[in-house]
Amino acid sequence: MTHNFHPTSLREYDIRGIIGETLGADDAYAIGRGFGTCLVRAGGKKAAVGYDGRVSSPMLEEALVKGLNDSGVDVVRIGMGPTPMLYYAEAVLDDVDGGIEITGSHNPANYNGFKMVLMGKPFFGADIQKLGSMAAAGDWTDGEGTSEHLDILDQYVARVAEAAPQKAFRIGWDAGNGAAGPAIEKLVKMLPGEHHLLFVDVDGQFPNHHPDPTDPVNLVDLQKLVAEKRLDFGVAFDGDGDRIGAIDGEGRVIWGDQLLQIYAEDVLGDVPGATIIADVKASQALFDRVEQLGGQPLMWKTGHSLIKSKMKETGSPLAGEMSGHIFFKHEYYGFDDAIYAAVRLMAASAKLGKSVTELRGDMPVMINTPEMRFQVDETRKFAVIDEVLARLSADGADVNNTDGARVNTPDGWWLLRASNTQDVLVARAEASSEKGLERLMAQIDAQLAASGLERGETVGH
Judge whether 309 counts as a catalytic residue.
no
3 state SS of 79: strand
User: What sign results for the dihedral spanned by CA atoms 252, 253, 255, 260?
Assistant: positive
Burial class (CB in 10 A: 0-12, 13-18, 19+), 331: middle
The answer to whether 331 and 433 have CB atoms below 8 angstroms apart is no
Q: Measure the CA–CA gap between 115 and 15, rounded to whole angstroms.
A: 7
List % helix, strand, coil for the chain (3-state, nearest 5): 35, 25, 40
Count of beta carbons in the 10 Å neighbourhood of residue 79: 15
DSSP string, 27-46: HHHHHHHHHHHHHHHTT--E
Spatial CB neighbours of 7, under 8 Å, sequence gap ≥ 6: none
Q: Which one of the listed residues 9, 56, 71, 105 is annotated catalytic?
A: 105
Catalogue the E-assigned strands of 185-322: 193-198, 233-237, 244-248, 253-254, 275-279, 296-300, 318-320
Burial string for 338-363 (b: 16+ CB within 10 Å, else e) reads bbbbbbbbbbbbbeeebbbbebbeeb
Residue of 211, 415, 419 lying closest to 302 (CA atoms): 419
Which pairing describes strands 147-149 and 169-174: parallel, antiparallel, or unpaired? Answer: unpaired
Residue of 324, 353, 329, 327 lying closest to 265 (CA atoms): 353
Burial class (CB in 10 A: 0-12, 13-18, 19+), 199: buried
Q: Measure the CA–CA gap between 112 and 56, rounded to whole angstroms.
A: 7
User: What sign results for the dihedral spanned by CA atoms 246, 101, 310, 267?
Assistant: positive
Q: Measure the CA–CA gap between 270 and 255, rounded to whole angstroms.
A: 24
Backbone phi and psi for residue 78, each to the nearest 5 degrees, phi listed first: -95, 0
Residue of 145, 115, 163, 136 lying closest to 11 (CA atoms): 115
Using only C-alpha atoms, what is the Rg of the chain? Answer: 22
Count of beta carbons in the 10 Å neighbourhood of residue 136: 13
The answer to whether 251 and 223 have CB atoms below 8 angstroms apart is yes
Q: Which active-site residues does the annotation give? A: 105
